[in-house]
Structure 1
Amino acid sequence: MRYFIYISYFGKAYSGWQIQKNAVAVQQVIEMALGKLLATAVVVSGSSRTDKGVHAVQQVAHFDLVTPIDPTHLAYKMNRILPSDISISAIRPVIADAHARFDASHRKYAYTIVTEKDPFYRDKAVWLRRMPPLTLLNQIAAMFTGKADFEFFSKVTDATKGFMCNVEEAFWLQTDYKVVFYIKANRFLRGMVRAIVGMILKVATGQMDVTTLTQLIRHKPEVRPTLTLMPPHGLTLMEVGYPEALFIQ
């Protein structure tokens, strides 16, 4: 049987989602918990490779077991032994070839900024003293919607397979002194959301003109611009969506 497991985590203590040498990753902690409870080695494959310090309200991974289990009971037992900064919200059986990464229909991220110093947001938001007007931020954010090549808004690696992404939503919301950027797309490249937030702020504060930004989104200039990544702790993976046909019950 194959199962999807829904995971939430506060990323401060971890090197990211994916297992790495000489560092503790969320994937490693999940696999260890499953192995302990099921008395067998279990490998989980995640939907998104969040970076060091990035959080997740909903990360999804899949794993396989020979013997069927009670998903609700296993989720409860995992929450009993997992550290306080990781929790399991659900485990759902899926069809045999369902894949947490490749079958995802969309992913949604949020980047949080606060304009007042707040100790409760210290590790989950970036403190900026001033923010441009919300109307201006949303005008610039709208430029990122649609299908485009986002090579200039990502950290390029040898493992990157294409740069085309279809951004369905990109907008800012403000509540008191908290300003949040939301973005939803079929896929994201490494560092893409943090780069987009940094670029929006550059344009909104006059450090880059709109024409240059348009060129970066719609075309490929000969000279690659310097990539400005916002700090990772302001970023949260909010949601991963799947076709309902993948789930058995």
Structure 2
Amino acid sequence: MHRYFIKLAYKGTSFHGWQKQSNATSVQQAIEIQIQKILGRELGLTGCGRTDTGVHATEFYAHFEVDERVDTGLMQHKLNLMLPRSIAIYNIFEVDLEDHARFSATRRTYRYFIKTLKDPFSNGLYWHLRQDLSIDAMKEAAGFITGRHEFTSFKKMGTPTETDWCQVFASFWKPTLNGYMYEISADRFLRNMVRALVGTMVEIGKQRVPAKSINGLLIEKDRSKAGYSAPAEGLFLHKVEYPFIQKGIQE
């Protein structure tokens, strides 16, 4: 038995998230169909996580298992020819059988993009807000998120989880051309967590609530007290890290 990792990226606009669904088109389904054509048999992909409808990934990993060795270069070439332009396969490489796309990841990084100027060339890739925000207030709020916290107030209501604790390694805002970018890195994320954090911090950026209110929300563990979820189109899974992937080799 051989296990292979696929490194890929996708524009999520036309997909109903990563995970395969019976009544909608997903990224997982699109790739599985083409791999099955190449290998002549059914197989399943295991992704490094889930992304919701309309969310993008500049770096995503999935793995699959086969009995025989695969010509990874040829498979990568064929997949890039067969898949739509919204999905790109960057690399396919063999890993140990215990290496897992989801459970072996030690750090994930998301980025969220906001623009205050309408941009027809980036349609579907950012949240268009028609007013300037206080970047200083949002930076202050983002700083409170760093560390180990329970993020119950920022997960989708009704989502079952074993624990809501997450270790956030980095959380910051920076100005961009005609907008803002938020970046957050953590060991794990709850469903809808990043979008809920962004929506809440935008309210802080509009100076409707103080930056330190983030602390109270973390303590209260009540989703209804936090801000609305930011739209999906501005969110990107930016990077996924594994201890067995050497920078510059499998990347």
Equivalent residue, structure 2, for 1:18: 19
- The alpha-carbon distance between structure 1 residues 223 and 13, as it changes in their structure 2 partners (threshold 3 A), is closer
Q: Who is 2:243 aligned against?
A: 243
Cα distance in 2 between the residues matched to 1:99 and 1:144: 28
Say which SS state the counterpart of residue 101 (structure 2) adopts: coil
CA distance in structure 2 between the partners assigned to 1:78 and 1:114 by the alignment:
33
Q: In the alignment, which residue of structure 1 is the partner of 2:149?
A: 148
Deviation at 1:227, TM superposition (A): 5.0
Q: Are 1:90 and 2:91 an aligned pair?
A: yes
Change (3 A) 1:172 1:63: same
* TM, length-normalised to structure 2: 0.93
SS in 2 for 1:197: helix
Cα distance, 1:107–1:208 mapped onto 2, change above 3 Å: same
Q: Is the 8 A contact 2:59 2:239 kept in 1?
A: yes
Matched residue, 2:225:
225
Cα distance change, pair 113–82 in 1 and its aligned pair in 2 (3 A): same
1:234 aligned partner, one-letter code: G
CA distance in 1, matches of 2:10, 2:223: 38
SS across alignment from 1:244: coil
Distance 1:223 1:12 in 2: 26
Counterparts in 2 of 1:1-249, with a 5 A limit? 1-217=2-218, 219-220=219-220, 224-225=224-225, 228-244=228-244
Change (3 A) 1:157 1:2: farther
Assess, with a 3 A threshold, how the Cα gap between structure 1 residues 222 and 5 changes in structure 2: closer, same or farther.
Answer: closer
Residues 56, 233 of structure 2: 8 Å contact kept? yes
CA contact (8 A) 2:134 2:207 kept: no
Maintained 8 Å contact 1:171/1:181? yes
Q: Which amino acid aligns with 2:194?
A: V
Secondary structure (helix, strand or coil) at the match of 2:20 reads: coil
Distance 1:98 1:193 in 2: 26
Q: RMSD of the alignment, in Å?
A: 2.0
Pair 245,129 (structure 1): closer, same or farther in 2 beyond 3 Å: closer
Kept in 2: contact 1:95–1:246 (CA 8 A): no
- For structure 2, the residue ranges without an aligned partner over 5 or more in a row are none
Q: Give 1:229's aligned amino acid.
A: S
Q: How many equivalent residue pairs?
A: 248
| Amino acid of the structure 1 residue aligned with 2:153 | F
Distance of aligned partners of 1:176 and 1:211 in 2 relative to their CA distance in 1, 3 Å threshold: closer
Q: 1:221 to 1:46 in 2, by over 3 A?
A: closer
Deviations 1:160-182, CA, capped at 9 Å, x for gaps: 22111111111112222031111
Q: Residue 222 of structure 1: CA displacement? A: 6.8
Shift of 1:93: 0.8
Deviation at 1:246, TM superposition (A): 9.4
- How many Å separate the matches in 1 of 2:61 and 2:245? 16
Tell me, yes or no, if the aligned pair for 2:150 and 2:221 is still in contact at 8 Å: no
* Counterparts in 2 of 1:26 and 1:63: CA distance versus 1, 3 Å: same
Give the share of equivalent positions with the same residue, in percent: 36
Residue 220 of structure 1 and its aligned partner are, at CA, apart by 2.8
Tell me the alpha carbon deviations over residues 219-249 of structure 1, each in whole angstroms, 9 at most, x when there is no partner: 2357842551110011011111000279998
Query: For residues 167 and 221 of structure 1, what CA distance do their matches in structure 2 show?
Result: 17
- Where does the alignment leave 5 or more consecutive residues of structure 1 unmatched? none
Tell whether the 8 Å contact from 1:126 to 1:231 is kept in structure 2 after alignment: yes
Q: Distance in 2 between matches of 1:36 and 1:78?
A: 10
Tell me how far apart the structure 2 counterparts of residues 223 and 42 of structure 1 sit (CA, whole Å). Answer: 38
